Chains A and B, each alone.
Chain A
Amino acid sequence: MKVLLIAPPIMDVVDRRLRVVGVDALRECPPLGIYSLGAVLERKGHDVVIADLILHGTRSLESFDHDLATADLVGIGSTSMAWPTAVDVIRQVRDRRPDVPIVCGGIHPTLFDRYVLATFPVQFVVRGEGEVALGRLCDALEGRLDMTEVPNLSWTNPARGLVRNHIHPKLSPGELETIPLPDFGRLAPASYKCLGMESSRGCAFDCSFCSTPYRKTWRALSPERTVDHLEQLLAQLDRTSSGCVHIVDDEFSMNPARATAIARLIRQRGLTPRLLFDSRAQDLLHPEFVAGIAPYTAGLLVGAECGYDEGLREVGKGTTCETLEGAARVLSEHGIAARADFSFILGLPWETRREVEKTIRFATHLFADYGVHIMMQWYRQIPGSRIWEDARRAQLVHESMYDNFGFFRDLYLFRTSCRLDPTEIYEIADMTDQLRWLSGLPGQQRPAIVHHFPTPIASNFPRETLDVEDSGLSNLRAIAKPSRGMPFRLEGVRS
């Protein structure tokens, strides 16, 4: 069976043109899910073509016309951010191939299978892991299996309406180890900044803002198998522009002993990878882990989130400011503080200006005392989190709001979560501008403090015209009833 797997990029209208934006503009690393599924299907003997539209920087399927014309199944994987492009891709497929079955997967269709099947001309949605489901869907389409036996599948049965098949047990760690690695050697040199690999799946926590799947569960490859995979990737590093391997796990060091063992194996085998990964602050308090991984760390992201303990409790990350500070100290002691980004969220739904300023003060303290880098981003309503679910229950947000391009500019979505008014946000930005400038004085290559001003506010509340007294109504009042004592008289009006 010929399967065309499509990875649509995150896009938005910029300067009246639709362009690839965000992380997909950077081509950070290949969309691992689609490439892995391709490898799984190839192992089963299928003919697979991957339309990596992120790599090509386009929404257009034109370059894949022949493959589309001859495909027996089209698969589209999408996040919520890339969903508007996926919608466009669905329409392109349908225009050219009204007959071909389309299956959607990835986090967004998983969250909203009913909506996707009811709204768009697709036949199937795979919820959750696709490694087993997609192969069995091919079997079913070839008549070797009943559609009801395809796990994780949502589909529309003319007689019964929406059908949600059973969910296959999550892949065990042993099964995760047997997933074939994609052959990135087929990519052109320097296609992506990094190559991606998975050493574990899921996260033991359930943070309120987080939208990743498989929370409260964590499955990991063994250290040996992880380093085997790493070795295979290192042989393909000429496909990258940075020579780095991005471990795409939600939390690479969820088990610090395992992560330490991985570092030890890397050393024993004489490998010299340059790794990018995410770690939780608690895990960095294990000095053996940090000491072991430091020589191979090109960059790490620590999701710090808040700079005050009450906020951290609301988030549910099981961390405190003391822990965050301890982690920054350990990184500094091992000489890799400047390779660490501590990421903070501003404008969480419970936050007033007071809490936002607390976070900024704490973040500044971490930079000033330990030299870790700081990223500050305003909270955005991304489906799948507990916060988003609360907003949907209150009928403030809905999945249909993610069909159109413009997420990054959407004022309504921004204000359904952020309680600060535009004036306050501008004043916060004044503070962060000063911090950004000061933190750049030592002249390091990349910004030490980063703050992204929210585009919805910049676009809809231009600062120059933000004076609440200088409104349209005050102008109407002025022309209707000129104030007394004006130095002129209106003709025909008695004083």
Chain B
Amino acid sequence: MSHDEREIYEKSIKLLKPALERVASDPAFRELLEQNPLQALDEMHVELDDIMRAELTGKRFSEFWEAHRKAAEGPVEVRELPPEDGALKDQQLDAISGGVTFGTGSLVSFAPPYVPVGPAPTTTILTPRLPKPGDFEPL
């Protein structure tokens, strides 16, 4: 990140600081942000661009976030196994479970552990009127 880019980034964070601190410490503000995110951010003088405002209009924060969570978190990476190309049978799972196994009941499918990998893809979360920083040096 160049010096200018860093400066822009730091200024962006400074603009957001009051809102961040209110979220971290003020349940009433959290509730307002949940019920009416646009009003909450307007009160904190955080300006959003028209696209973002349109996306937030009439929505609770949690509704909006649910739609954007995946993009913000980046892909959850689990790697495929080469040998099998279909789902494992319960007996196969039991056979590899190791140690003491109790019964052969079916295994429930669970959400994977979150493993964000690398940079989140470019999202439409916002292009705010906040100054736009340049990219970080990629890892």
Instruction: Identify the A interface with B (CB < 8 A).
Output: 12-23, 25-26, 56-60, 62, 83-84, 87-88, 91, 119, 242, 244, 274, 276, 298-299, 332, 335, 338-339, 357, 360-361, 364-365, 367-369, 371, 400, 403-405, 408-409, 430-431, 433-447, 450, 452-453, 455, 458-459
List of A residues within 8 angstroms of B21 by Cβ: 361, 364-365, 368
The 0/1 profile, CB within 8 Å of A marked 1, for residues 54-74 of chain B is 000000011001001100111
Which residue of A25, A87, A436, A452 contacts B98 across the interface (Cβ within 8 Å)?
A87
Contact A17 B84 (CB under 8 A): yes
Which residue of B65, B87, B111 contacts A455 across the interface (Cβ within 8 Å)?
B111
Contact B115 A21 (CB under 8 A): yes
A171 to B8: give the CA distance in the assembly, Å: 49
- Nearest Cβ in chain B — how far from A145, in angstroms? 32
Contact A400 B99 (CB under 8 A): yes
The residue of chain A having its C-beta at the shortest distance from the C-beta of B100 within the complex is: A400
Contact B98 A435 (CB under 8 A): no
List of A residues within 8 angstroms of B17 by Cβ: 368-369
A431 to B136: give the CA distance in the assembly, Å: 26
List of A residues within 8 angstroms of B104 by Cβ: none
Interface size for chain B: under 10, 10 to 19, 20 to 34, or 35 or more residues?
A: 35 or more
- Nearest Cβ in chain B — how far from A83, in angstroms? 8
Which 8 pairs across A and B sit closest by C-beta, in order of nearness?
A: A403-B99, A87-B98, A442-B12, A445-B119, A408-B113, A364-B24, A368-B17, A20-B79
The 0/1 profile, CB within 8 Å of A marked 1, for residues 74-101 of chain B is 1001111111100110000100111111
A452 to B114: give the CA distance in the assembly, Å: 6
The residue of chain B having its C-beta at the shortest distance from the C-beta of A86 within the complex is: B98
Contact A22 B113 (CB under 8 A): yes
Contact B23 A431 (CB under 8 A): yes
Write 15 A-B pairs (CB below 8 A) sorted by A numbering: A16-B88, A16-B107, A26-B77, A60-B82, A298-B139, A339-B136, A365-B21, A405-B93, A430-B34, A431-B23, A436-B72, A443-B132, A443-B133, A446-B139, A447-B120
- Assuming the contacts A364-B21, A442-B13, asked whether A57 and B80 have C-beta atoms less than 8 A apart, the reply is yes
Contact A57 B81 (CB under 8 A): yes
B1: CB under 8 A from chain A? yes
A405 to B88: give the CA distance in the assembly, Å: 14
Contact B109 A15 (CB under 8 A): yes
A22 to B83: give the CA distance in the assembly, Å: 20
B6: CB under 8 A from chain A? yes
A440 to B24: give the CA distance in the assembly, Å: 15
Contact B96 A445 (CB under 8 A): no
Contact B93 A18 (CB under 8 A): yes
Contact B130 A441 (CB under 8 A): yes
Contact A404 B80 (CB under 8 A): no
Contact A26 B115 (CB under 8 A): yes
B105: CB under 8 A from chain A? no
The residue of chain B having its C-beta at the shortest distance from the C-beta of A402 within the complex is: B99
List of A residues within 8 angstroms of B100 by Cβ: 400, 403
B39: CB under 8 A from chain A? no
The residue of chain A having its C-beta at the shortest distance from the C-beta of B85 within the complex is: A17
A91 to B111: give the CA distance in the assembly, Å: 28
B112: CB under 8 A from chain A? yes
- Assuming the contacts A400-B100, A455-B111, asked whether A434 and B83 have C-beta atoms less than 8 A apart, the reply is no
- Assuming the contacts A368-B20, A458-B111, asked whether A442 and B130 have C-beta atoms less than 8 A apart, the reply is yes
- Nearest Cβ in chain B — how far from A60, in angstroms? 5
- Assuming the contacts A437-B125, A455-B113, asked whether A444 and B130 have C-beta atoms less than 8 A apart, the reply is no
List of B residues within 8 angstroms of A83 by Cβ: 98
- Nearest Cβ in chain A — how far from B62, in angstroms? 7
